[in-house]
Each structure stands twice: as structure tokens, then as C-alpha cells.
Amino acid sequence: MAPGLIQERAVVEVTTGKVVPGWMNQQDPHGNQYNFFMISALYRSLGSKRYPAEPSLTCWSEGHAAVMLAMTLLVVAGVLPLPLLAAIGGASFLLLVWQQRGLWTPCGRFGLANWVTLLRLAGILGLLGSSVTGRWVVAVTLLWCTLDGLDGWLAKRLQLTSPFGDLFDKETDAFFTLALTVLLYHAAGVPAWILICGGLRYGFVLTLKLAGRKACDLPPLPLARPIGTTALLGLILGLGPMPAAYQWVLAALTGALVISFLASFWMIFKRSDDSDPTGASPRTS
């Protein structure tokens, strides 16, 4: 095999002779062979909080982001009903699962953690398709939130962490946020600016694509998770009976999320311009 050649699906780990699911099968100039899960383990050992992005995952994420933003605009224009938005979102996730079959976990099986994420996604799709609000919706939605940390815990506990599971969890969270903001706009009467919250993740992905930057260049931001969790809880509570003044709370949460994403952009661009861990010059286009 020529150095740098990439093959799909299963690869052979030369250290054990064992066939391991993975997308990357590379040889360096010295003839050493690596697969994606070995490289991911190296990233973790060096303290990285993120996996290097697998090309087909990145491609799906960018396409999904573009579709979700376009569908949200159609919802605002009044030409796309919410059940159809839920169906399109579900079809996109189904494509992701099918595309990554055999690469779901290091052992190739779908894994309990991914099943928990899939259960969360099914609940989100049902919530969005039903287009209902009220106290009981808030209670059920808060229940779905309790599953958010369970999938990650299970993946680490059962040693099922993978690039697919990492992306599946993040994109489910992003779709959850989008669904909540669309419901607040469509069913609760909150002005269209609330959709900014739902579109931030997708705008983030597409902006990085256009700028030639990578999310793995983003160092951990200490306030990102607390801000995201607080905003998510605020959006959920907005689905229940709330006074008109609660829109100011939603506006403040939206502003906090925007600032958090802007900080992420700044850190990525600063890190990419200061140094490139691959040794290549950062793209400026």
C-alpha cells in the first residue's frame, strides 16, 4: 500500500493482527500501519478533548447543517409544517446511521450508548411533530434531558466511545435546541429571533467549512457547557405557561449563546493562525 492511502471500512491493526472497524488505513513512510481508532486513542492520550473528524462524518454534518437552516427558513416563511420538518430531520439522521454502519463503535455494534441517543432523538422528533406545548410537555422534555448525560457515561463505561457516537450525541443536542426554538416560535408565539439559538450550531459548522477551519482546533471553553445547559433549560421552560416578560429571559439566554459561539470562533481562528499541529500552513480562504 502506498503511504497515505485511505481505505474504507475494516482495517487490520498490525500490532495485534486483529481486524478492527475503522475508516482510516494509513501507512507512514516507515511502513507502520494505523487505523482511526488507534489515532483517536493517541489524541486522547495527548489530552485532546475531541476526535479528529472522519471525512464522511464531516461531510454529513455540513450537509445536515445546510438542510436544517434551509428548512428553518421555510418554517418562518410558513410553507413548511412542523411534522414535515421532523420527518426531514429524522431522514437525515437515518442517513447518518446507515452511512456509518459497522463504524458505530470500536467493536462495530450499535452499542447501548447510541441506543440511548437514538431514544432521545425519537422523543425530540415526536415533540416537534406534535407541535404541542404546555406543562406536561415541559415535564416530558425535562425527562428527555436526563438522558443526555447517560449516553456519554455509558459509552465511556462500556468503552464504546467512537467518532460516530460523539457526533451523533452532539447533533442530537443541536437538533433538540432547534426543535425547541421552532416550537417556541410556531406554537408559543415567541418572535423569530428565538430561532437564532436553534441555528447557531448549524451556522457554526458551515462557517468553519467556508473558512477552512476545523472544530478539533477548539480548546475546551470552561463556560460553554454551563451556558448551553442553562439556555436549554430556559428554552424548555418557555414551552409552559409563562408571562410575557419571560421573553426577556429568552433574549438574555440567546445573547449568552451567541457570545459563547463567538468566543469559540475566536479561539479556533486564533489557534489555527498561531500554530498548525499537522505542520501545514492554515488555510485563509
Let me know whether 20 and 129 are in one domain: no
Let me know whether 15 and 76 are in one domain: no
SS3 8: coil
Phi/psi for 142 (5° steps) reads -65, -35
Let me know whether 137 and 187 are in one domain: yes
Let me know whether 136 and 236 are in one domain: yes
Let me know whether 31 and 145 are in one domain: no
Return the pLDDT at 69: 95
pLDDT tens digits, 156-194: 899 889 999 999 999 999 999 999 999 999 888 889 999
SS3 20: strand
State yes or no: pLDDT of 86 exceeds 90: yes
Q: What is the CATH number of the domain that holds 251?
A: 1.20.120
Name the residue range of residue 223's domain: 55-274
Let me know whether 236 and 270 are in one domain: yes
Quick check: is 285 in a domain? no
State yes or no: pLDDT of 53 exceeds 90: no
Number of domains in the chain: 2
Let me know whether 117 and 20 are in one domain: no
Return the pLDDT at 152: 85
Taking the C-alpha atoms of residue 61 and residue 107, their distance in angstroms, rounded to an integer, is 23
Angle, helix 148-157 to helix 163-186, in steps of 10 degrees? 180
State yes or no: pLDDT of 281 exceeds 70: no
How is residue 24 written as a grid cell? Answer: 482510516
Let me know whether 238 and 143 are in one domain: yes
More confident residue, 192 or 3: 192
Amino acid present at 137: V
pLDDT tens digits, 73-82: 998 888 999 9
Mean local confidence (pLDDT), 200-215: 86
Return the pLDDT at 218: 62
Quick check: is 221 in a domain? yes
Let me know whether 31 and 103 are in one domain: no
Return the pLDDT at 220: 62
Let me know whether 164 and 116 are in one domain: yes
pTM of the full predicted structure?
0.76
Let me know whether 167 and 35 are in one domain: no
Give residue 135's pLDDT band: very low, low, confident or very high (50, 70, 90): confident
State yes or no: pLDDT of 245 exceeds 80: yes
Q: How far is CA 39 from CA 14, 78, 95, 163, in A?
A: 13, 46, 25, 11
Question: What mean pLDDT, rounded, does the chain reach?
Answer: 78
Return the pLDDT at 130: 85
Burial 89-125 (b: 16+ CB within 10 A, else e): bbebbeebeeebeebbbbebebbbbbebbbebbebbb
Mean local confidence (pLDDT), 32-51: 44
Quick check: is 149 in a domain? yes
Return the pLDDT at 85: 94
SS3 48: coil
State yes or no: pLDDT of 28 exceeds 70: no
Let me know whether 104 and 27 are in one domain: no
Return the pLDDT at 18: 39
